[in-house]
Amino acid sequence: MPSLSLQDRLRTQFLNWETAPEGEVPELLLGLRAQGTPLILYREPYRHTFTAAVTKLLGTALQVELRNLPDRCDAFIFGGQVLGVGYGKTCALAFLTQSGPAQDRILQLTYPSRLLVRRGRQRSRRPLGVAVSAQWNRGLDACVPGDVMDLAWGDGRGGLQLVTLDDGSRPYVVGEMGRITLSKANGVPWEGVVELRRVDRMAVDARQDHQDLTGVPGFSLLGFAFHVHRPDEQAALEYFLDGVLEPD
């Protein structure tokens, strides 16, 4: 399955987000720091996502502190293009930017020329404070990998949404069951049963949305409901989620 550039990822994964009016951009960026919204950073060619906190707004750049940079990781030795995504309490933001080299986990990101925003975050879902990856075992073929976008859990119920690279060759059926493994940096993975509740296919080229998308690189947004019933399963999930979800 072909990999996508950060530009393609921005265009497909956030296809339905609106472009923020130019006059609102400074306020939205200030909100990242004021609300303590974590940034999830994507950097080519690394498949691992990085988490950062906005520490300062400088004259020409956002200053962020990398939170989960593995030891001896060379992702930010040199500058380059970065995709930043922040899931806040009232809205979510996504933008492409250029980074300079990291200095003691401190990184400077140029101010984006275009900011995408999704307003009205659903109360049932909460943004992630750290990056979480997923592997969904459908029982039919190889595991489906993805990045978790947001997650809900409480009173023994909940679910998650993940984005996975998709060339259209794997059909998804709402209602199918499978096991999913959630992983985070420096943590024990969690595995449990989920049910597929939502499928949204997004091609790289929006003009192809109503054509046969088989073989066309893009993404699928998959929504799952947890099937976690036993007390020990619920306790294991809550242990995994400790420190993952942003507070209300």
For CATH 2.30.110.10, the residue range(s) in the chain are 6-119
Q: How much is the pLDDT for 217?
A: 66
pLDDT score of 18 more than 50: yes
Q: How much is the pLDDT for 213?
A: 46
Mean per-residue pLDDT for 189-194?
A: 94
Q: How much is the pLDDT for 210?
A: 44
How far is Cα 196 from Cα 178, in angstroms, rounded to an integer? 8
How far is Cα 128 from Cα 195, in angstroms, rounded to an integer? 21
Under CATH, what is the fold of the domain 6-119?
Answer: Pnp Oxidase; Chain A (2.30.110)
The mean pLDDT of the chain is: 81
For CATH 2.40.10.220, the residue range(s) in the chain are 132-241
User: 5 to each of 82, 165, 203, how far by Cα in Å?
Assistant: 11, 11, 13
- The lowest-confidence range among 64-78, 145-159, 204-218 is 204-218
Mean per-residue pLDDT for 106-112?
A: 93
Under CATH, what is the fold of the domain 132-241?
Answer: Thrombin, subunit H (2.40.10)
pLDDT score of 225 more than 90: yes
pLDDT score of 34 more than 80: yes
Mean per-residue pLDDT for 15-25?
A: 88
pLDDT score of 100 more than 60: yes
pLDDT score of 209 more than 70: no
Cα 50–chain centre separation: 10
Q: How much is the pLDDT for 83?
A: 92
Q: How much is the pLDDT for 108?
A: 93
Amino acid at 176: E
User: Which of the pair, 121 or 161, is modelled with greater confidence?
Assistant: 161
Name the DSSP letter for residue 12. H
pLDDT score of 155 more than 60: yes
Residue of 63, 117, 114, 111 whose CA lies nearest to 90: 117
pTM higher than the cut 0.75: no
Mean per-residue pLDDT for 185-208?
A: 78
- DSSP assignment of 156-207 equals TEEEEEEEEEE-S-S---TT-EEEEEEEETTS--EEEEEEEEEEEEEESSGG
